[in-house]
Chains A and B, each alone.
Chain A
Amino acid sequence: MGQDKLLVITDQVAVSISAVSDAIKKLRKEDVVEVDPLIITQATSDSLTSLEFSSIDDVVSLFKTLEFPSDQLLGNISRVLKPGGAVLFHFDSQTIGEQMKNPSLEHELILAGFLDIHRESFGMKCKKPSWKIGSSFALKKTSQVLPKVQMNDDDDLIDEDSLLTEEDLKKPQLPSGDCEVGITKKACKNCSCGRAGDEEKVKLGLTMDQINNPQSACGSCGLGDAFRCSTCPYKGLPKFKLGEKIALSGNFLASDI
């Protein structure tokens, strides 16, 4: 297999040769002869940043800690691995019982973009997909590029957004959503596009004669807005007596006749 590049990472200060060759045997299922692994000790999630992308053939992780590697570290492992490369997570014999109880191990690896995930007697094994370009990159980008947001979760409360159905979330039918197309065709309450201003300029429709000598067929026009019909020409004007000139107050938009 030539000069396969193998990376061993561990949180320990030092790691024994036998532990490494043991792990390699499990990974490659063959005897280790000519492998010169790159070993990173006291590894943290940042330790792999100096390694080039897609430069490592296989990775062995020998962490003693109870915690599974963070998704940042997993993301980095995936980044430096060549497509098709394998990763072996060798759990510490003291803690392996506890660690294997964690049901999210597969989930974390899937999120990080790995495939072929297996639980083994010693820990976990998985592979980076062999397709180079396309959706696998997008997945990787998601976990790596969108920063994790710190949340102060209220763990003892349900998520209230889960109470809404698909139907609820759909944008409601707006009768007057579009100023041009609405049934009522009126300007919005807080119109900002200028339509409300245009509506203001519509002419009154009252002649001077009607103002000087107001008449009313129904008899109600002079009683004030409370008694006027929706089509009354005197709508908006103060009360008046029939035949007497209507007093237009200052705050009334007079017609420009």
Chain B
Amino acid sequence: MGAHKLLFSELKLWTSGRGGWIARLHKGGCGKASLSSCSPKVCIVGSGPAGFYTAQHLIKARQDVEVDIYERLPVPFGLVRFGVAPDHPEVKNVINTFTQTAKHSRCSFYGNVNVGKNVSITELQQAYHAVVLSYGAEGNRSMGVPGEDLAGVYSAKDFVGWYNGLPSCRELSPDLSCETAVILGQGNVALDVARILLSPIDILKKTDITQPTLEALAESQVRRVLIVGRRGPIQIACTIKELREMVNLPDTRPDMVAADFDGVKEALKDLPRPRKRLTELMLKTALEVPGEKEQERRSKASRTWGFRFFRSPVEVLAEPGHSRIAGIRLAINKLEGSGDGAQAVLTGEVEDVPCGLVVSSIGYKSLPIDPSVPFDSRKAIVPNTMGRVKQAAGLYCSGWLKTGPTGVIATTMNNSFDTARSILEDMDSGTLDMSAAKPGSQSISALLEKRGVKPVTFSDWEKIDNVEMKRGESRGKPREKLLTVEEMLHVAWT
């Protein structure tokens, strides 16, 4: 049976298309000894960690796979460039790994291509054996409370996009002329926002934070940041590294409510190690009487930060007769149950907190890209099993689009490797039809050209990269990011 299949597909290849398999062989397409399949062509939509790690795994696993990565912006790397905080440059080292993948002979990068608008998923599926959706989560969950649209209320997604130079967030211009900022949510993104708001300018000016942000922060009047969560200290979503950074942030002191920590010390012994260490640090910061040196440091601090627990937003309050924010009304909760599964339940009491800036950091959210792709709007993910999109042969997903918008780069890495493994399994088992050759980027490039869309290649990106690094040099920054798509394209194509 196997031998017959081999013979038949050889015949098919011999007679198929211009050049046939010899041309493909010369092009380096068929690295494998078997001639029964042509070079598998995979298309990945999105060039963040999910896209790159999926590509990396595929290219390593088979010598004949060719991968094309499409990206809407002219620049690659997704949240590594636009999400990771400017003062976390080591986290961005992963760009070196991604660069190596992009420059591999069997990988190509096509920036400035909007999948869903410039080219459809159906067209990609016709050109490639497999299409992987890795375009992440560009939306955000809304609080769903009155006053959410008042001036002075921002989503963390937009705030982070603003300080990281995401072109669509360039005009955010948040008003930092108030004393108190309230952040809803207590995950790592919330802590990033707090840290950027309170960090000494001398530290920030040596990072790749954008120049307009630096100027705005230099004028900022914000002196107090409250980081608010629905539940208690044991349910906090941030991790210890970020908490430690707040505790050690120069010129700041912690301001917590001791009563929020009732019963927490007793619960410590049953907690798993990561949760235990995090909770111990919180308890120490909130309750322990500081030594002399620390006491002096705190008394000299000009800025404060603190967690507020058991609070949910119910309304953003406006200044009477104005459309600017004056404060936020928070419902007071109590906890039912314990541990990860504990639920916040309203008590009926509320509390008003005066503030001039509200940042809602309650989660990113994926959006549907193309009507032909199944989308679960309740969970805001593409429905899938092990990365295989349900009811859509040849379609896969990886990263936040697959599992929801939580996790760090390492999580996304494992998630993407899993999807790549599903694809490889399907190639081996025949679930993915590899019998016919696919044109890949040849046909897509022709389509794009017809539509007046010019892709940005990886070498074009390297020109942008060099310009940014050069600009940064004169300012003592690792780079000075280009802030508009127009500027990026201009540099790319000059």
- Do they bind each other? no
